[in-house]
Amino acid sequence: MFKAAIFDLDGVIVDTVPLHFQAWKKMFAEYSIDFTFDDYKAKVDGIPRYDGAKAMLTDLDDSQIEEAGDRKQEFFLELIKKESIPIYNSSIDLIKALKKQSVQIAVASSSKNCKKILNKAGLINFMDAIVDGNDFKKGKPDPEIFILAAGKLQCAYSECVVFEDATLGVKAAINANMVCVGIDRYNNPKRLSEADLVVDDLSKVDNKILEGLFKK
């Protein structure tokens, strides 16, 4: 049975990736690191910010890593205050269609800014449950984030589909024994090949396609 859809936020529902990248790049520049978008995709995309900082700043101790991660957070919050939050309309269309079919909707994001972003984008009322970086201890690829989301929705793991755009997010969904749809925004679908289905946009997905994934 297909009862619940769990969406990552950044890169899946909203296009905050450019803002995150700018904030990471500005922070790492303070440590004389030329942070590239390839670094972003490989090292920090989709994981808690302290883990992302640690992935690049390998010589720092835990307190220094926290300081770096907090600086990134400051830069990001400055950006979301100034900038509008771009929305992937196809993702919102899918959420609306699924809700009409009585499918429950959750957001599961590593970002501690999740609720701020949903509020600013006017999307928070679409969600039946929210799990963000304040709610769990183990970052992706650990499945804790998705297990918590399923618990909030009171659904079995086998009843949930996860929508992810990051490699570690796909791995976390698999580790939770959930169906997974990968959204490839970078024209490189192979990086998400462990997902049950990979598309370049959620306009390519509907309830019938999702039900088919559960019958495999």
- Secondary structure of residue 105 in the 3-state scheme: strand
The residue range of the domain holding 76 is: 17-82
At 112 the pLDDT is 87
Encoding tokens for residue 97? 């269609």
Mean pLDDT of the chain: 95
Residues 140 and 78 in one domain: no
Residues 36 and 138 in one domain: no
Residues 109 and 191 in one domain: yes
Segment 42-58 mean pLDDT = 92
Residues 115 and 51 in one domain: no
Active site residue 51: no
At 184 the pLDDT is 96
CATH code for the domain of 200: 3.40.50.1000
Choice among 10, 39, 45, 51 that is catalytic? 10
Residues 191 and 99 in one domain: yes
In this predicted structure, the answer to whether residue 196 has a pLDDT above a threshold of 80 is: yes
Residues 49 and 136 in one domain: no
> Which of 61, 82, 103 is the endpoint of a domain?
82
Give the pLDDT band (50/70/90) at residue 1. confident
CA distances to 4, 124, 137, 142, 200 from 92, in Å: 15, 11, 29, 27, 15
At 66 the pLDDT is 97
Alpha-carbon torsion (192, 37, 51, 117), positive or negative: negative
Give the pLDDT band (50/70/90) at residue 205. very high
Residues 140 and 199 in one domain: yes
In this predicted structure, the answer to whether residue 36 has a pLDDT above a threshold of 90 is: yes
Instruction: Using alpha carbons, select from 22, 23, 9, 21 the residue that is nearest to residue 74.
Output: 23
Please state, for a pLDDT cut of 70, what percent of the chain lies above it. Answer: 100
In this predicted structure, the answer to whether residue 186 has a pLDDT above a threshold of 90 is: no
In this predicted structure, the answer to whether residue 169 has a pLDDT above a threshold of 80 is: yes
In this predicted structure, the answer to whether residue 17 has a pLDDT above a threshold of 90 is: no
Question: 55 - beta bridge partners?
Answer: none
Segment 180-192 mean pLDDT = 94
Active site residue 8: yes
pTM assigned to the model: 0.85
Encoding tokens for residue 131? 């799990």
Residues 200 and 98 in one domain: yes
> Which of 47, 82, 117 is the endpoint of a domain?
82
Residues 54 and 100 in one domain: no
Residues 108 and 193 in one domain: yes
Q: What are phi and psi of 57, to 5 degrees?
A: -100, 70
Give the pLDDT band (50/70/90) at residue 201. very high
At 203 the pLDDT is 98
Residues 10 and 27 in one domain: no
Number of domains observed in the structure of the chain: 2
In this predicted structure, the answer to whether residue 150 has a pLDDT above a threshold of 80 is: yes
Choice among 8, 51, 165, 196 that is catalytic? 8
At 189 the pLDDT is 94
